[in-house]
Structure 1
Amino acid sequence: MSFTQDYSGSALNGAAKEEGATAGDNEDENCCICLDTFKNKKQLKCKHEFCEDCLSKSVETMGPICPLCKYVFGRIQGFQPDGKMTWKTKRTSLPGFPGCGTIVINYDMQGGRQAARHPNPRPDNEVIWHNIHHKTSKSGGPQCFGYPDPDYLSRVREELKVNGIE
């Protein structure tokens, strides 16, 4: 994966905590990943703590995301192919959203396939930006990633909130 692993300052809440306790901590606490006593304890800004090696292995598989609360503590690069994104607005409404305009996003992906490192490379995957689902059809309802979908905006708001955007 291609992201910045920065376990200092910006990514973590301070430097490594190998000694001393923080509020609510006691020396008998264990890492929730390996279930063993902390080794080189690291604390993220979200206050969750892990062994340095456990956090590094988690970052290798999940990216710089807290394994407990999904707080993003670094730069994430997805599995998308090279390409370009453009957008435009239209005055037309979509089913279920009368009187609202439409934002049309166009993706021009070179070769049309996700990169080989993607866990499931296919040309027809749903479009997702860091766990934020996008609609890819004007019709067909939620089962076809389309409209009408009365719960879509509330789901997107929740997905944004999980990613720290309110």
Structure 2
Amino acid sequence: MSFVLSRMAACGGTCKNKVTVSKPVWDFLSKETPARLARLREEHRVSILIDGETSDIYVLQLSPQGPPPAPPNGLYLARKALKGLLKEAEKELKKAQRQGELMGCLALGGGGEHPELHRPGPPPLRAAPLLPPGARGLPPPPPPLPPPLPPRLREEAEEQESTCPICLGEIQNAKTLEKCRHSFCEGCITRALQVKKACPMCGRFYGQLVGNQPQNGRMLVSKDATLLLPSYEKYGTIVIQYVFPPGVQGAEHPNPGVRYPGTTRVAYLPDCPEGNKVLTLFRKAFDQRLTFTIGTSMTTGRPNVITWNDIHHKTSCTGGPQLCDSSSFPSPWLLPFSPFLLWESPNWRRPPTTSSVCFHPGPDVFRLTNKNKKLQTLADLGVGGPSSFGYPDPTYLTRVQEELRAKGITDD
């Protein structure tokens, strides 16, 4: 029987954001496997605090944490995930208790009714002075078993565990997903997985999601140790170029047979451990054709063009260029744009690229030139931060991993 409670019937108050749990189970989880608890907090963007307690039970309260907007059904999913984690911790606690009892018997050489537990070895030592548990290699006594739940709370926990989260009725022909261990009616989960191959409770993917990104694109990666991103000055920069030639839309696109223009996009990541982790995830997303799609540009309104597909990239180092005179170049998106931002340096050089665009060094301005080095326009270099798709943005690497996880792209 699980010692994890799903309602606040014993302690009063709302149950939508609270979970009650036996003290030994919570202490075991928070002390023995704190990383799993931290991962749950990070994935669901919630804080978990002890809101009250009795002699043997903690009342845990879940609250949204992080920048808005909060994920839809965030607290509901976080609460379900926490209950699952507590159940796993309870099983591990019981297993540890059984192992501790067995090891205690073997170490002390107890015979009694179980001579099969004896192992050949040296003769028993003479009695020694009493020592604290564990001082001579003996395992400490296991924590006491949690007390049984009151009947009413036990019935409520059983009732919720037997309810299908999809149809909200009693589970019929229960089917439990292999990775996350969430259970549903067999018919409900079969239909749900036909729509999206992910658990409706936690969003964990089953199978591989493939998008409709044009197949003729390339992802080019280089590293520049001299290019420094705000807030990551002690690291270099990872420069990602996505290059797509013109093509014709296929059957999976909005307008099959209609041509689309080519494009080049550039994005930046800090060359730090977390940035390289995101780079690996970006590669997986690109290989699964999830990074781009074909549709209508949100910036220009042009149809039948290659657009981003809800995996946000930092396309500028410091917020992105903002034109100071819109009449100087009314359609900047028509340029074969491949921006490389060069910091102020007396020995700057143009990056190796066939693009017709380069940047003049300097923190305040850059010059947009063609292959003949003729001046086309002069623009201010903005520092808009997150709102302009640039740095600094302290939570970007965490947010983009959540976006990737929503598409089934993870590091496991």
TM-score (norm 2): 0.28
Q: Give, in angstroms, the shift of residue 47 of structure 1.
A: 0.8
Contact 1:127 1:136 in 2 (8 A): no
Distance 1:107 1:58, change over 3 A: farther
Q: What amino acid sits opposite 2:190 in the alignment?
A: S
The question of whether the paired residues in 1 share the 8 Å contact of 2:293 and 2:307 is answered with no
Displacement after TM superposition at 1:52 (Å): 2.8
SS in structure 2 at match of 1:143: helix
Distance 1:160 1:43, change over 3 A: same
Q: Percent identity?
A: 39
- The letter for the 1-side match of 2:394 is P
- Paired with 1:150 and 1:37, the residues of 2 have a C-alpha distance of 45
Q: Counterpart of 1:139? A: 318
Give the AA of the match of 1:31: C
Instruction: Indicate conservation of the 8 Å contact 1:87/1:104, yes or no.
Output: yes
TM-score w.r.t. length of structure 1: 0.62
Map of 1:148 onto structure 2:
392
Match of 2:295, SS state, is coil
| Structure 1 residue 73 corresponds to structure 2 residue 206 | yes
Q: 1:119, 1:152 → 2: CA distance?
A: 22
Instruction: Give the distance between the partners of 2:386 and 2:309, measured in 1 at CA.
Output: 12
Q: Which residue of structure 1 aligns with residue 235 of structure 2?
A: 100
Q: CA deviation digits over 1:82-122, x for unaligned, max 9? A: 22222111111122321211111222235488943999833
Q: How does 1:36-47 map to 2 (within 5 A)?
A: 36-44=169-177, 45-47=179-181
Deviations 1:123-143 (A, max 9, x none): 343662xxxx43222232212
Letter of the structure 1 residue corresponding to residue 295 of structure 2: P
Alignment of 1:1-166 (within 5 A): 29-44=162-177, 45-62=179-196, 64-82=197-215, 83-91=217-225, 92-111=227-246, 115-116=253-254, 121-122=295-296, 123-125=306-308, 128=311, 133-140=312-319, 141-156=385-400, 165=411
8 A contact 1:81–1:110 mirrored in 2: no
Whether the aligned pair in 2 keeps the contact of 1:88 and 1:105 (CA below 8 Å) is: yes
Letter in 2 for 1:101: G
Mark the runs of 5 or more structure 2 residues left unpaired by the alignment: 1-90, 92-156, 256-291, 297-305, 320-384
Question: 8 Å contact 2:310–2:403 — kept in the other structure?
Answer: no
Larger Rg: 2
Can you list the C-alpha shifts for 1:36-80, whole angstroms capped at 9, x where unaligned? Answer: 333332211211012233223322333x21111122222121342
In 2, Cα distance between equivalents of 1:119 and 1:41 = 37
Residue pair 1:28, 1:37 contacting (<8 A) in 2 also: no
CA deviation profile, 1:1-21 (whole Å, cap 9, x unmatched): xxxxxxxxxxxxxxxxxxxxx
Q: Contact 1:126/1:145 (CA < 8 Å) preserved in 2? A: no
Instruction: Indicate conservation of the 8 Å contact 1:139/1:146, yes or no.
Output: yes
Letter aligned with residue 143 of structure 1: S
Question: How far, CA to CA, are the matches of 1:55 and 1:41 in structure 2?
Answer: 10
- Structure 1 residue runs of 5 or longer lacking an equivalent are 1-22
Offset of 1:26 from its aligned partner? 6.7
- Hey, which of these two has a bigger chunk of helix by percent? 2
Counterpart contact for 2:164–2:183, Cα < 8 Å? yes
C-alpha separation in 2, matches of 1:136 and 1:87: 14
> Is the alpha carbon distance of 1:86 and 1:142 closer, same or farther for their aligned partners in structure 2, counting shifts above 3 Å?
same
Amino acid at match of 1:97: Y
Distance 1:107 1:59, change over 3 A: farther
C-alpha distance in 2 between matches for 1:120 and 1:57: 28
**Residue 28 of structure 1, CA deviation:** 8.0
**Counterpart residue identity of residue 229, structure 2:** L
Any conservation in 2 of the 1:127–1:135 contact (CA below 8 Å)?
no
Distance 2:399 2:161 in 1: 39
Shift of 1:157: 5.7
Q: Where has structure 1 moved over 4 Å in runs of 4 or more?
A: 23-28, 110-114, 117-120, 156-164
For 1:17, the equivalent position in structure 2 comes to none
SS at match of 1:93: coil
